[in-house]
Amino acid sequence: MALVFAGVCSHAPGITNRPERADPQKRERFFAAFERLRLAIEAAKPDALVIVAAEHFANFFMNNMPAFAMGMAEHYDGPIEDEKWLGIPHARVPGNRDLSLRLISRVMQEVDVAYAEEWKLDHGIMVPLRFLTPRWDLPIVPANINCQGPPLTPLHRAYAFGRALRQACDAAPERLALLGTGGISHWPATPNSGKINEAWDREFLARWTENRRDALLSYTDADTYRDGGQGGFEIRTFIAVAGAAEGSAGEIWCYEPIPAFAVGCTVGAMKLA
């Protein structure tokens, strides 16, 4: 039928791995925004959720790294991480192979994507789903963008991927929700873990909410690495959602820099035209 919802959120493993280390007030504001996101997705009555995350070597390695990939299976298992380490028990999340096949076929008219009939979920998808579909009852179509191993997927291709996803969703008979997950500035898995560039984040989010394509695509990887750290490369997932919502503006429901979670914790949504 159409894309009925498009939003973004953070996915840092610290959110479920070490919640007790966060400032309680900030944490509760962030978790309340996750609940608002859950309710908004529920209110949009989607038949499935397309979730675009960042590659973390869950399904692919540097011997064969796709710029874009989408899952095409009846179900997905996760997390790949130790369940005690991540704080999320193993679960099987439903998929919809036929829906994936149709979406991928349509996306491939515009952007080359790899498909995967087997796909393991890592924190990039499991952490958001833990809050948004805690009973694992909404079918998903997982997707990912190479934000991890250079050469990285160019930003303008991430935007084009989002635009292609929109066309594919609008051509499907189902009601579909889209969620991009990732960090803005962050330096995860380094001794700088917890460093956050709030000014850079707020500037990026301003560009995202206004959905100014040229401004979103003007970051070079060298700029991002300097100002936003290697975790900042995950802006590609937010940019894909902006591409899917081209012509619409968005709003940020939460931005809380939480060093214990190693990221400026973000929840936002596009007001789809």
Partner 1 sequence: MSLYYVQKLLYQLNRDPEIRKRFAADPEGVLAGYELTAEELGAIRRPDIGLLYVLGVNGQILMHYAAMCGFEWSAYLEAMREGVRRHGPVRAGLYKLVED
Query: Which among 91-99, 111-119, 130-138, 144-152 is the span making contact with partner 1, rule CB under 8 A?
Result: 144-152
Q: Which of 236, 225, 159 lies closest to 186, judged by CA?
A: 225
62, 171, 199, 206: residue in contact with partner 1 (rule CB under 8 A): 62
CB of 251 to partner 1, least distance (A): 31
Tell me the C-alpha distance between 164 and 266, whole Å. 25
Q: Which of 38, 7, 241 lies closest to 138, judged by CA?
A: 38
User: What is the total count of residues that contact partner 1 (CB under 8 A)?
Assistant: 26
**Using CB under 8 A, which residues numbered 220 to 259 contact partner 1?**
225, 229-230, 233
Helix (H, G, I), strand (E, B), or coil: what is residue 159? Answer: helix
Cis peptide leading into 134, omega within 30 of 0?
no
Tell me the C-alpha distance between 48 and 72, whole Å. 13
Binding mask 81-100 for partner 1 (x = CB under 8 A): xx--x---------------
CB of 57 to partner 1, least distance (A): 5
Structure tokens at 198: 């709030």
Give the residue with the Cβ less far from partner 1, 18 or 36. 18
Q: How many Cβ atoms sit within 10 Å of the Cβ of residue 236?
A: 29
Give the residue with the Cβ less far from partner 1, 63 or 109. 63
Structure tokens at 27: 């944490």
CB of 203 to partner 1, least distance (A): 19
Q: Torsions phi, psi of 131, nearest 5? A: -90, -35
16, 100, 144, 148: residue in contact with partner 1 (rule CB under 8 A): 148
Query: Which among 57-65, 101-109, 131-139, 209-217 is the span making contact with partner 1, rule CB under 8 A?
Result: 57-65
Give 268's strand partners: 8, 252
**Using CB under 8 A, which residues numbered 4 to 43 contact partner 1?**
17-18
Give the residue with the Cβ less far from partner 1, 46 or 188. 188
CB of 265 to partner 1, least distance (A): 17
**Using CB under 8 A, which residues numbered 176 to 205 contact partner 1?**
187-193, 195
Measured at the alpha carbon of residue 157, what is the angle toward residues 48 and 196, in degrees to the nearest 5?
80
Strand order through the sheet with 2-9: 114-116, 68-71, 140-145, 48-54, 175-181, 2-9, 263-270, 250-258
Residues of this chain that bind partner 1 (CB under 8 A):
17-18, 56-57, 61-63, 80-82, 85, 148-150, 187-193, 195, 225, 229-230, 233
